A and B are shown apart, each in its own frame.
Chain A
Amino acid sequence: MQEERFPGYKWLPYLLVAPSIAVIVIFLVVPFVQSVRGSFFISTPFGTKTIYVGLRNYIRLFSSPDYQNSILTTLAFSAFVIIIGLSISLGIAQLLNQKIRGLGFYQVALIWTYALSPAIAGVIWALMFAPATGLVPYIVSRLSGGYVLNWMTNGRIALLVVAAAATWKMLGYNIVFLLAGLQNVPNALMEAARVDGAGPWKAFWRITFPMLSPTTTFLLFVNMLYAFFQVFGLIDIMTRGGPGNATEILVYKLYRDGFIHLNTGSASAQSFVVFFVISIAAITQLRIATRKAIYAR
């Protein structure tokens, strides 16, 4: 027989968790159930008429070239933000993790980008790359002898610019965590490696990188969520999903269909798809991470 944990206060634990449960139910569970339900209907914006359409919203979605394109765009975008972003951050963190003059200045200079709001970051990048008046197209055209860098008409360049802006914006956050991780790598281990004749390259891959794995796993997950959801503001300011649909990632398409085009049925279906994709990715990552990451000291 199990011993009571709160003798004499049978309902206390339930009472204590009730506020959290209530918040979760009201703000997460109920809307989730509503959108799942909504994904089987089409309805007028003002809710005057609702028609049950079964799976049609989903079928339309997956047979739509625009949606397939949006999935590919999201994958390419996230891959860029995660892989390039984390690699650069790790490199910079490694450089910052040494005793040099003016270290504090460098650290702040490289970390502050995270303090910017996505809207401000978007405006800065949009101005820098403005086709007719921006600094970057001007430099490119000077260096290349007249090449016109116009991301407003070139989807690939637009995606690259937005991905670069998103990566830049996240650098500060990544660097803080990686730097903390690097500073936790015991000096004794590195010295032992050096005594055993390991070069810096080998020491990095054999000691630093594995020791960093809990941080890296965490950052992988956070960056994925960032690339999927939080870049919304950046895209809204810089490209609004264009040119064509070149930068229309899943969450942006969802927003436009639901809140601009007032097509709630399709938007509900899309939100369920995004939820599903993110859940699968999260579960996979956590599985691999708990198996591979080295937490023990």
Chain B
Amino acid sequence: MTRVMEDMTMLKKPKTKLTSFFSLKNRINVGPKHKWALVGLAVLLSIPTVSVFAAEKVEITWWHAMSGSRLKVVDAIVESFNANHPDIELKPLFTGTYAETLTKFIVSYRTGTAPNLVQVYEVGTQTMIDSEAILPVYQIPGMLGETWDWAQYVIPITNYYSVEGNLWSMPFNSSSAMLYYNKDLFAQAGLDPNKPPTTWKEMEEYGEQILASGVVDYVYSGGWPGWIWEQTLGYHNHLYADNDNGRAGLAKKVVFNDEFGHMVFETMVRLHDKGIYIYGGPEYAANSAFKAGQIAMLIQSTSSLAGILKASEFEVGTSFLPRFEGYPIGNSLVGGGSLWVTKGKSEEELRAVWEFLKYLGQTEIAIQWHKGTGYFPVTNAALKALLDEGWFSNQTYLTAFLEILSGRRDTAAATGARLGPFVEMREHFRAALEKAIAGELSPREALDEAAEKMNQLLRDYYELYGG
């Protein structure tokens, strides 16, 4: 303390020193030499502005969540688009995971710095519809004085992103879920490698046989538990939430915790308790176990196909998701993401964005996207071209498509739910599954608890948007 006081008194005395310190004239000598340096700096700084004026390109931005090998395909497509459109400069930007991208978009919209185009995952669909921040894609051709044939897109995909029959976002990266299995392990366990299980009863029987044969410690695993739960409901034409899965109006409660839902959930937990199923985490952690031959089957997104085929040293089989016999048949659901157009931008920019959306639908681009990433081609023409080319002679690729194209598409249950607080609801399901297989709660208690939490979320959402 005394030292500090000394410093203070020292500061007080030499008034002259202070004056000289704060007099800029004495400190910085702005001689002629320095003046030229300043002029040079000013010229340098103005160069970028000049070049912008010279180019006169329409600059549009696109935020997406495609990383790794997918990013390379995105960049290649953007590059060819820019080369084909000399008057447009499309700038893609990887903005992190789906969740991070959505959060960044929200913040940027509120501060007036939003991109023209943003990729949003399928669970964020209702949030975007309610955002008042976007322009539904079905309105864009009309605004630009064009007409557009929306029937050229694959219907189960457009159904997912449509409100009352009108498409709100452009389908981009669509996938579904399917069953992958290891044919070599099937053969070693004495099963027919060309007969994957088709029902959950068979899953259990095959599982017991594979366990008994001792070729693996666990039979199957999977990722995205909340999404697989939606898939299972949709696959049996069973509603997830009321108000037609939230498609006829905001949903007010979930309806999956009935007799069917409890039976499905109890089956999952029972297979775990028997050692057939091993929990594989929230996303893709189980893929490595499958690729390493440590499990015989995997329930995962179709978009994992390319990676699995590449890394597996055994013969990979694919099949539809197993069913519960005696229940109605619905359809697999579309997952992945779609592209949303920000509203309030100039017509010039909108025209450029629309050019890009049309470009993505061109047959060769849709095929390039599909072959590079494993996501579905979004147009019927691209699908036909792939069929003609014989691309689907590899049965594994065919499964991924038939999965989504084969089911019924006329019910809300088979289209999938569209809910406001969907992200958080999925997590409640994941937590319920984790609690049930850890034995913390009985399957029935866990599922009911999750449903109750989800209902609270739906009520909160209704309070904000429903009034």
Taking Cβ atoms with an 8 Å cutoff, the residues of A that contact B are 5-9, 42-49, 51, 130-133, 148, 150, 152-155, 240, 242-245, 256, 259-263
Given A7-B12, A133-B289, A260-B423, A154 contacting B464 (CB threshold 8 A): no
Contact check, A46 vs B133: say whether CB atoms are below 8 A apart.
Answer: yes
Contact check, A46 vs B109: say whether CB atoms are below 8 A apart.
Answer: yes
Supply 20 A–B pairs (Cβ within 8 Å), ascending by A: A6-B18, A42-B460, A44-B131, A44-B464, A45-B106, A46-B131, A46-B132, A132-B218, A132-B278, A132-B286, A132-B289, A132-B294, A133-B289, A152-B279, A153-B279, A155-B438, A240-B282, A243-B438, A261-B423, A262-B127
Partner among B99, B130, B133, B435 whose Cβ is within 8 Å of the Cβ of A244? B435
Contact check, A259 vs B282: say whether CB atoms are below 8 A apart.
Answer: no
Q: How far is the CA of A47 from the CA of B434 in the complex (A)?
A: 34
Given A7-B15, A49-B464, A242-B434, A259 contacting B289 (CB threshold 8 A): no
Q: Which residue of A lies closest to B292 (CB)?
A: A133
Given A42-B464, A132-B294, A5 contacting B12 (CB threshold 8 A): yes
Residues of A near B217 (CB, < 8 A) are 148
**Shortest distance from the beta carbon of A69 to any chain B beta carbon, whole Å:** 11
Given A42-B460, A244-B438, A245-B431, A131 contacting B278 (CB threshold 8 A): yes
B288 close to A (CB within 8 Å): yes
**Shortest distance from the beta carbon of A239 to any chain B beta carbon, whole Å:** 9
Pairs A-B, 6 closest by C-beta atoms? A132-B289, A243-B434, A261-B424, A244-B434, A46-B131, A260-B99
**Shortest distance from the beta carbon of B403 to any chain A beta carbon, whole Å:** 26
Q: How far is the CA of A133 from the CA of B278 in the complex (A)?
A: 13
Given A51-B464, A131-B278, A133-B289, A244 contacting B440 (CB threshold 8 A): yes
Taking A132-B286, A261-B423 as known contacts, 13 extra A-B pairs with beta carbons closer than 8 A to each other, sorted by chain A number, are A6-B12, A9-B18, A42-B464, A43-B464, A46-B106, A48-B132, A130-B285, A150-B279, A153-B437, A242-B282, A243-B279, A244-B435, A245-B431
Partner among A44, A46, A259 whose Cβ is within 8 Å of the Cβ of B99? A259
Residues of A near B218 (CB, < 8 A) are 132
Contact check, B288 vs A132: say whether CB atoms are below 8 A apart.
Answer: yes
Q: How far is the CA of A43 from the CA of B282 in the complex (A)?
A: 28
Q: What is the number of contacts between chain A and chain B, taking CB atoms within 8 Å?
A: 96
User: Which residues 411-464 of B have a CB within 8 angstroms of A?
Assistant: 421, 423-424, 427, 430-431, 434-435, 437-438, 440, 460, 463-464
**Shortest distance from the beta carbon of A269 to any chain B beta carbon, whole Å:** 14
Q: Which residue of A lies closest to B286 (CB)?
A: A132
B11 close to A (CB within 8 Å): yes
Contact check, A152 vs B285: say whether CB atoms are below 8 A apart.
Answer: yes
Residues of A near B133 (CB, < 8 A) are 46
B110 close to A (CB within 8 Å): yes
Residues of A near B294 (CB, < 8 A) are 132-133
Q: How far is the CA of A43 from the CA of B127 in the complex (A)?
A: 13
Residues of A near B127 (CB, < 8 A) are 45, 262
Q: How far is the CA of A49 from the CA of B466 in the complex (A)?
A: 11
**Shortest distance from the beta carbon of B331 to any chain A beta carbon, whole Å:** 28
**Shortest distance from the beta carbon of A26 to any chain B beta carbon, whole Å:** 15
Residues of A near B295 (CB, < 8 A) are 132
Partner among B15, B421, B464 whose Cβ is within 8 Å of the Cβ of A261? B421
Q: How far is the CA of A11 from the CA of B106 in the complex (A)?
A: 43
Residues of A near B11 (CB, < 8 A) are 5-6
Given A44-B130, A46-B131, A152 contacting B464 (CB threshold 8 A): no
B8 close to A (CB within 8 Å): yes
B281 close to A (CB within 8 Å): yes
**Shortest distance from the beta carbon of B118 to any chain A beta carbon, whole Å:** 13
Residues of A near B460 (CB, < 8 A) are 42
Contact check, B437 vs A262: say whether CB atoms are below 8 A apart.
Answer: no
Residues of B near A256 (CB, < 8 A) are 427
B199 close to A (CB within 8 Å): no
Contact check, B278 vs A49: say whether CB atoms are below 8 A apart.
Answer: no
Q: How far is the CA of A243 from the CA of B285 in the complex (A)?
A: 13
Residues of B near A42 (CB, < 8 A) are 460, 463-464
Residues of A near B130 (CB, < 8 A) are 44
Contact check, A47 vs B110: say whether CB atoms are below 8 A apart.
Answer: yes
B465 close to A (CB within 8 Å): yes
B312 close to A (CB within 8 Å): no
Contact check, A44 vs B434: say whether CB atoms are below 8 A apart.
Answer: no
B103 close to A (CB within 8 Å): yes
Q: Which residue of B lies closest to A49 (CB)?
A: B464
**Shortest distance from the beta carbon of B248 to any chain A beta carbon, whole Å:** 21
Q: Which residue of B lies closest to A131 (CB)?
A: B278
User: Which residues 92-143 of B have a CB within 8 angstroms of A?
Assistant: 99-100, 102-103, 106, 109-110, 127, 130-133
Residues of A near B427 (CB, < 8 A) are 256
Partner among A9, A154, A262 whose Cβ is within 8 Å of the Cβ of B106? A262
Q: How far is the CA of A242 from the CA of B12 in the complex (A)?
A: 60
**Shortest distance from the beta carbon of B7 to any chain A beta carbon, whole Å:** 11
Q: How far is the CA of A242 from the CA of B426 in the complex (A)?
A: 13
Residues of B near A263 (CB, < 8 A) are 424
Q: How far is the CA of A49 from the CA of B461 in the complex (A)?
A: 11
Residues of A near B440 (CB, < 8 A) are 155, 244
Given A47-B110, A132-B294, A5 contacting B464 (CB threshold 8 A): no
Contact check, B464 vs A153: say whether CB atoms are below 8 A apart.
Answer: no
Residues of A near B278 (CB, < 8 A) are 131-132, 150
Residues of B near A132 (CB, < 8 A) are 218, 278, 286, 288-289, 292, 294-295
**Shortest distance from the beta carbon of A169 to any chain B beta carbon, whole Å:** 22
Residues of B near A261 (CB, < 8 A) are 421, 423-424
Q: How far is the CA of A154 from the CA of B12 in the complex (A)?
A: 66
Residues of A near B18 (CB, < 8 A) are 6, 9
Q: Which residue of A lies closest to B131 (CB)?
A: A46
**Shortest distance from the beta carbon of A196 to any chain B beta carbon, whole Å:** 35
Contact check, A262 vs B103: say whether CB atoms are below 8 A apart.
Answer: yes
Residues of B near A150 (CB, < 8 A) are 278-279
CB 8 Å contact bits of B270-307 with A (1 = contact, 0 = none): 00000000111110011011001011000000000000
Contact check, A260 vs B103: say whether CB atoms are below 8 A apart.
Answer: yes
**Shortest distance from the beta carbon of A137 to any chain B beta carbon, whole Å:** 11
Q: How far is the CA of A243 from the CA of B439 in the complex (A)?
A: 12
Q: How far is the CA of A245 from the CA of B434 in the complex (A)?
A: 9
**Shortest distance from the beta carbon of B203 to any chain A beta carbon, whole Å:** 19
Q: How far is the CA of A44 from the CA of B424 in the complex (A)?
A: 15
Residues of B near A131 (CB, < 8 A) are 278
Q: Which residue of B lies closest to A148 (CB)?
A: B217
Q: How far is the CA of A7 from the CA of B133 in the complex (A)?
A: 58
Residues of A near B430 (CB, < 8 A) are 242
**Shortest distance from the beta carbon of B229 to any chain A beta carbon, whole Å:** 16
Residues of B near A260 (CB, < 8 A) are 99, 103, 423-424
**Shortest distance from the beta carbon of A214 to any chain B beta carbon, whole Å:** 17
Residues of A near B435 (CB, < 8 A) are 244
**Shortest distance from the beta carbon of B327 to any chain A beta carbon, whole Å:** 28
Q: How far is the CA of A43 from the CA of B106 in the complex (A)?
A: 13
Q: How far is the CA of A284 from the CA of B218 in the complex (A)?
A: 51
